Structure 1
Amino acid sequence: MKNMFDYMEKAPSLCEQIIKEKDKRIGNLVEYFVEKERRRIVIVASGSSYNIAMSAKWYLQELLNLEVKVVWPLTYTMYDNSYDNQSFIICMSQSGKSTNTIEAVKKAKELKHDVCVLTTNKNAPIKEYCEHVYEYGSGSDDYYVAKGFPCSNVFLMIFAVEVASRLNKWKEAQKKKEISKIEVEIAKLDNTRIQAKKFYEENKKSFLNCRRMMLVGIGSSYGVALEGALKLNEMIGSATNAYEMEEFVHGPTYEIRKDHAIIFIDNNSQCHERMKQLFTACKGLTDHVFMISNAKDYNDQKVLYIDGNSDYNLNVINSIVPFQTFSECICSELDLLSYNLTNYDFEQKIKTKA
């Protein structure tokens, strides 16, 4: 079976293809969205799709100047579904087979919500329940969602750009300028992977021997922390959790022991100084404290510097790469079978995929 790097290497060209084919891939979705005035977007998703939505939501919210909510499928189906007809429901499913997301689509139709589906395979079973189905463009063979995370973020960002352009009557030059910022992030994917591999080798002992990992982010980088923790959970079975930056100091820090590793994700937002403060303070609790950042004012060997964008909400395209890299490197180093098969029986009993 291919490893995660095989899929990661394909991500840049696929992201570029999404932009080149944006009229074909995203045009009809944009038309559907602008049919009426919208007050909010509700993204219904679980697993990696949820993490993708949490990474992209702040860019969508800022560019479109409307509320963006992210809700788990069962929560939407059973509880959180009281929305007016100016709300736009986006149901995300990488495979298009997730039964919980299919149930959410059915609930949206029952409530007469405007709903669409984003997936890697528009011919998946979910198409039977919704006439508005759109492909991200990452391909349906993405076992690790290694292509899917950057590709679907790019898809959602380009969607936001196209809608903002229509609603705000942008001149073509302004739209091109915004798209070029996304292209800058895509162009850095390969180099980020190379730098992340080097960083792993330099800190391999910490990553291999730690008993627990704690990932900390804020805003869009919290979505990256969620996905990073999920990858580490799935691939190496490590005890890994993601925390919002300030919530991290309200309890979780009391758990930290000398054999725990903490990884902060600083996208150089308005929370940059607070993130630096926490990074420094946590060194008194464990020696395994790391930072992934595009801010240039760190001078520390435990910081993996990623050349970032001036718009910090776009950096999620790149900042997931280190966690994909660490997961694959640890998995390979320890000769682990990714997606631990001890959970096979459990997954058969608690089925969420069609």
Structure 2
Amino acid sequence: MAEAVDIEQTVLGNVLDQPEMLQAAFAARESFATPFVAAFQAAPVSRVVFLGSGTSYNVANLAASYFTRIVGVEGTAPYPTEFTNYGAGVDPGVTDPSTILCVGISQSGTSISTCGALEHARAKGYRTLALTGYADGRVATLVDAVAPLLMGVEITGPETKGYTASVLTVYLWAYATALATGAVSEAEAEAAVAAAGEVTARFETVVRESEEWYDRNRTGLLHSTRVNILGYGIDYGTMLEGVLKVAEMLRVPTIGNLVEEHVHGPTYALRFDHATLFIGSDEAEFERMVEIRNAIGEHAPGAHVITCRDFPGADERDLVFSVKAGVFLAPLLYTVPFQFLAAKGGKDVYIDTNVNPVPIHFGHYGEA
């Protein structure tokens, strides 16, 4: 478990610390995989509801996709207040509430909306589990089981290490659960875990290539009056995290969308000085994404693809990682360039990314 300590941190320092953190988390994976699988198998599960706000919501979105597509059990990711107030994410026809597993994700363990959702879940008779970096946080008192989030120490406002640690966690949860339930074979599960080990072992390269991408595109990116971030498939959650990071640290107007939906209206607002960043998931829409990127690039040259997949026409604007990852593991890589655009970009335009310009806090217990 992480322990709060009195040290000075920067967001950029945390971005650079991710390779070491992820390798340590991967080595200790049984500490968070075992309690999750035990909670999942305690009784039949018809649906897993992942709950979190901010960065944790973006992780929840990925987790819901993982469980639907890998485990074969429906995963949903409603916003916590929508779940609490309107029943979002849960089939109203469910007759046995114990078949619903609600998973609260809160790095600090103090998110007001997530804690409220878990209290609501227990009142409804749903089973509950928390993923948190602090075993003594409020969220841990509201659930049936706790799994540790092994992100190390992160006391900056914007979360980077916590996001990548959470993505690694829910990826490994999905394969451990799928193996336990027979949804994947032992060979498939072992291959998925080995792939995660290889990527975490090479994450220094991911970080270096992401920073090099930012550095060579810095001028255009920092002169953009708007940033569009587009994704699809499994990386819808990655798109959400990219939007959050750029908006909260670089502090320029930032819009996120599905690639295909972006051409149904938003392109009317495209200007020459807009940057458009495409997350190139190796899924059905990839070729269509490249086609749209090329069309947008004719009108606004700041059109960039971030991907693990080689493609014709890639140039200096793009980031094609030399570290290759499958479709479900690639989200671990794809957020890093957005972290550099946000954290290093903010630093380069003299923004203190640790300071909230609106000194009013509502999101967490204990905030003044």
Shorter-chain TM range is: over 0.9
CA distance in 2, matches of 1:169, 1:322: 33
What secondary structure sits across from 2:101 in the alignment?
Answer: strand
Correspondence 1:228-239 to 2 at 5 A: 228-239=242-253
What secondary structure sits across from 1:43 in the alignment?
Answer: strand
Deviations 1:119-178 (A, max 9, x none): 111111222222312211113525232111111111111111111111118665443222
Residue equivalent to 1:21: 28
- State whether structure 2 residue 216 is matched by structure 1 residue 202: yes
What secondary structure sits across from 1:286 in the alignment?
Answer: coil
- State whether structure 2 residue 232 is matched by structure 1 residue 218: yes
Correspondence 1:159-308 to 2 at 5 A: 159-168=173-182, 172-299=186-313, 300-307=315-322
- State whether structure 2 residue 115 is matched by structure 1 residue 108: no
Residue equivalent to 1:129: 142
Q: Is the 8 A contact 2:199 2:325 kept in 1?
A: no
Deviations 1:20-59 (A, max 9, x none): 3233332122111012222221111110011122234333
Deviations 1:270-322 (A, max 9, x none): 21111111101101331211111112123322111113545212100111110
**Out of 307, 321, 329, which is 2:336 matched to?**
321
Q: Which segment drifts farther, 125-134 or 246-255? A: 125-134
Q: Is the 8 A contact 1:222 1:242 kept in 2?
A: no
CA distance in 2, matches of 1:57, 1:298: 32
| TM-score under structure 1 length normalisation | 0.93
CA distance in 2, matches of 1:266, 1:75: 30
Q: Which segment drifts farther, 263-272 or 196-205? A: 196-205
What secondary structure sits across from 2:66 in the alignment?
Answer: helix
- State whether structure 2 residue 311 is matched by structure 1 residue 311: no
CA distance in 2, matches of 1:185, 1:159: 17
CA distance in 2, matches of 1:6, 1:333: 14
Q: Is the 8 A contact 1:45 1:73 kept in 2?
A: yes
The amino acid that maps onto 1:51 is N
- State whether structure 2 residue 106 is matched by structure 1 residue 99: no
What secondary structure sits across from 2:117 in the alignment?
Answer: helix
Q: Which segment drifts farther, 318-327 or 198-207? A: 198-207
- State whether structure 2 residue 65 is matched by structure 1 residue 50: no
CA distance in 1, matches of 2:208, 2:328: 22
**Change in CA separation of 1:19 and 1:192 when aligned onto 2, cut-off 3 Å:** closer
**Change in CA separation of 1:76 and 1:170 when aligned onto 2, cut-off 3 Å:** closer
Percent of aligned pairs with the same residue?
23
Q: Is the 8 A contact 2:12 2:344 kept in 1?
A: no
The amino acid that maps onto 2:104 is C
Deviation at 1:17, TM superposition (A): 2.7
**Change in CA separation of 1:230 and 1:295 when aligned onto 2, cut-off 3 Å:** same
Residue equivalent to 2:11: 4
Residue equivalent to 2:345: 330
What secondary structure sits across from 2:304 in the alignment?
Answer: strand
Deviations 1:310-347 (A, max 9, x none): 52121001111101111122111111111554211xx2
Deviations 1:62-103 (A, max 9, x none): 210121111111001001254433221111111111111111
**Change in CA separation of 1:171 and 1:216 when aligned onto 2, cut-off 3 Å:** closer
**Change in CA separation of 1:134 and 1:338 when aligned onto 2, cut-off 3 Å:** same
**Out of 40, 46, 50, which is 1:39 matched to?**
46
Instruction: Give the gaps of 5 or more residues in structure 2.
Output: 1-7
Q: Is the 8 A contact 1:121 1:140 kept in 2?
A: no
| TM-score under structure 2 length normalisation | 0.89
C-alpha RMSD of matched pairs (Å): 1.9
Instruction: Give the gaps of 5 or more residues in structure 1.
Output: none
